Chains A and B, each alone.
Chain A
Amino acid sequence: MKLLSSFKKELILASRGFYFYVELVFALVLLAVLLFAIPQNFSSTSTEYLFFNLPQEGKGIFINNILKDDLDTKSEMVEVEASGKTFNAELIVTDESEIYIVDSEEAVRTLADSEKVIGAVIELDDNNQLHYKYYLQGYESTRLKNLIFILQNESTDVLEERFENQDVRPLSTDYEPLTDRENTIPPLIAFSGSLMGMFIMASYIFLDKKEGVIEAYAVTASSVWRYLMSKIFVVLLTSVVSGLIIIMPVMGFRINYGLLLLLLLTTGFFASSLGLLIASFYDNLVKAFGVIYLLVFLLMVPSIAYFIPGWDPVWIKIIPSYPLLQGFKEIILPNGNIAYPLITSAGFLAVGIILFTITNTRFKKTLSV
């Protein structure tokens, strides 16, 4: 009852403050960004500049081959500018790329250099064999360069035929991928909702420290842990409300909201307890800012791995935001794995309880710092 009463008081106080509404406005802005600024799927077309230094007939064969993939099977004559020069080009637009066929090697070199994309010159060598000259930036990995190096060793038709005949055996076929918009949701909820709790919780405590609230608890019938827990409840409430504001209009009723609430609450509890622990070591926010800043950066690293499919080193998996992001992803995935968010929630709850216990002991001992 005392906890409930403390929570009610904290909630009334929070609702009178500026921060509570910042959270809601922030969530609404993120929702607007999701709905209006982020497309269902990002266009991932690349740009290539090619020059066929070949007899007209050979050039025609190459261009006709590329034209087969053009969206309207027609090319368009355009002018492209780079480094103060203008070049004429034949533009072919396919599903995957915009290919500019220019009329000199200088044009390929200048455009590839200024636009920082790949350029290629296809010509005949002394033995009348096709020779490919690629213009790369220099920062491409050795493995990628190796691939580019050998890509033209074998005839494209032969490679294409063998490629189509590859025996691919998926372990599961009931997987439906998320759209790019849906895929953006987990990092937004994780950082805006769950992890910002750390920063906000620390701010709450520093405010109360300044006003001597924690010392005052020593002479009241209520205990410090109830006071801390009531603060956490306020942060959890704002985190859940802002999380739902972001996720509901995009995902509708296609996801398991019980699981979502569970993960939001347990991760919010973990982040808030971490914020409390940090706050117990410092006497104001300015002094704690460095640690919080460093932690926020560390916690952001798994979001890089989240968006880069081939980069997922083992050490990243021990950063708490990794299971957090993956947990949210499993929840919004059609046919997602239910066990993963449950195990993740249990882990965050357990660590949160440990952090909270340590913090409570520290606050009880010192009553202030």
Chain B
Amino acid sequence: MLKRIWTIFIRDLTVNMREFMTLFMMVIPLLLAVGINFLSPGINDTSVNLALIENENPEQAAYFDDFAHIELFSDKQRVEDRVRSRDDVIGILPKDNGYFIMTQGNEPESVLEYAKLLNVLYESDVQLEDARSEIIEFGRTVPPLKKMLVNILLLLISMLAGMLIALNILEEKVDRTVSAINVTPTSRSAFILGKSLTGMAIALFSSIACLLITGFYNINLGQAALVVFSTTILSLLIGFIQGLNSDDVMEAAGSVKLLFLPMAGSIAGYEFVKGNWQIFFYWSPFYWAYKANDMILSKSGSWPQLILFIGIILVICGAVYALLAPRIVKGLQ
């Protein structure tokens, strides 16, 4: 049986590799990883955007540049136009005895307070050279937002693998290959499992590659591979259920959309819901996968914790399988 599954997997992989699509599916997560690298420094450097008049006070502009993003404009009207634009830019303009702060009126309070504080510090002649403070760093270089985006990407890769498996099975169903397998020595389960291995292999390859591209080469890649593997089993299960129970591509597409809900909800729950309220997300394997990935990316977890999280994911998957086994068997017929 294992040999047949392996043969189907190798055949499927060879066939898929000839297609542009499979390579495309492997390349897209890598492009997204490059995109995350491109986005995160800019987002992390976000403080406040200030608009000033060019050459009005070069010393002031240089001072603010140490603490905020500065844009210079030729006159007051242009500063006002910039402040009126859709993003949050605060103008600092001269008046008779000092400077005033020009706002559009709709900026978040934190943005306005930051700008006010900078103007106070400048007016008080507070200089970096006179600092009485010392900064000690823990040496973490990956900002939380980048970690979050990479974690989301890892979950999406697993989801994508599941969707691919679902769509592959659906195609085989439409082509009636699943029924044709009945007259061969290979069982239907072995055929389906063999076909699913390609999706899992792609998920593992893409996840590890994305982690390396985004600079997470110091984490425990073995732990990460385990989480990806368990999440892909989840996606595989969902893919099976979708693929086998959908009669056409529209049904599968609808299911894909529904699938995003527990995933997005689990991520939002983990990131934004505090303390004991997180208990409401314990049912979701995506929650545990996200939590496990977060632990690995932060390099803060231990093996027993990780095994616990993976165990929970697998138990939930097992429970879902036990619940839906009759439908899966029926779908294979």
Binding site for B on A (CB under 8 A): 17-19, 22-23, 25-26, 29, 33, 37, 42-43, 109, 112-114, 116, 125, 129-139, 141-154, 158-159, 162-163, 166-175, 177, 196, 199-200, 203-204, 206-207, 210, 284-287, 289-290, 293-294, 297, 301, 304, 308-313, 326
Cβ proximity bits B76-102 to A, threshold 8 Å, 1 near / 0 not: 000010011011100000010011111
Does B39 have its Cβ within 8 Å of any Cβ on chain A? yes
Query: With the chains together, A179 CA to B45 CA distance in Å?
Result: 26
B255: min CB distance to chain A, Å: 7
Given A143-B45, A148-B133, verify A163-B168 contact (CB < 8 Å): no
Binding site for A on B (CB under 8 A): 19-21, 24-25, 28, 31-32, 35, 39, 42-49, 66-69, 80, 83-84, 86-88, 95, 98-108, 110-112, 116-121, 123-124, 126-128, 130-144, 160, 163-164, 167-168, 171, 174, 246, 248-255, 257-258, 261, 265, 268, 272, 274, 298, 300
Contact check, B21 vs A168: say whether CB atoms are below 8 A apart: no
Which residue in B21, B99, B253 is a CB contact (below 8 Å) of A19?
B253
Given A139-B142, A150-B121, A167-B95, verify A129-B104 contact (CB < 8 Å): no
Contact check, A309 vs B108: say whether CB atoms are below 8 A apart: yes
In the complex formed, the residue of A with least CB distance to B102 is A169
Which residue in A112, A137, A170, A206 is a CB contact (below 8 Å) of B249?
A206
Which residue in B100, B171, B254 is a CB contact (below 8 Å) of A22?
B254
Enumerate chain A residues within 8 angstroms of B107, measured Cβ to Cβ.
309
Enumerate chain B residues within 8 angstroms of A153, measured Cβ to Cβ.
126-127, 130-132
Which residue in B103, B132, B136 is a CB contact (below 8 Å) of A171?
B103
Contact check, A113 vs B138: say whether CB atoms are below 8 A apart: yes
In the complex formed, the residue of A with least CB distance to B123 is A162
Given A116-B144, A132-B133, A149-B131, verify A42-B43 contact (CB < 8 Å): no
A98: min CB distance to chain B, Å: 11
Query: With the chains together, A112 CA to B97 CA distance in Å?
Result: 43
Which residue in B24, B45, B136 is a CB contact (below 8 Å) of A133?
B136
Given contacts A148-B133, A153-B130, A207-B250, 6 further A-B contacts (CB under 8 A): A144-B47, A152-B132, A168-B101, A177-B106, A199-B257, A289-B163
Contact check, B66 vs A139: say whether CB atoms are below 8 A apart: no
Contact check, A311 vs B135: say whether CB atoms are below 8 A apart: no
Enumerate chain A residues within 8 angstroms of B25, measured Cβ to Cβ.
289-290, 293
Query: With the chains together, A152 CA to B300 CA distance in Å?
Result: 32
Query: With the chains together, A304 CA to B285 CA distance in Å?
Result: 25
Contact check, A18 vs B132: say whether CB atoms are below 8 A apart: no
Which residue in A135, A167, A293 is a CB contact (below 8 Å) of B101?
A167
Query: With the chains together, A136 CA to B108 CA distance in Å?
Result: 25
In the complex formed, the residue of A with least CB distance to B107 is A309
In the complex formed, the residue of B with least CB distance to A149 is B131
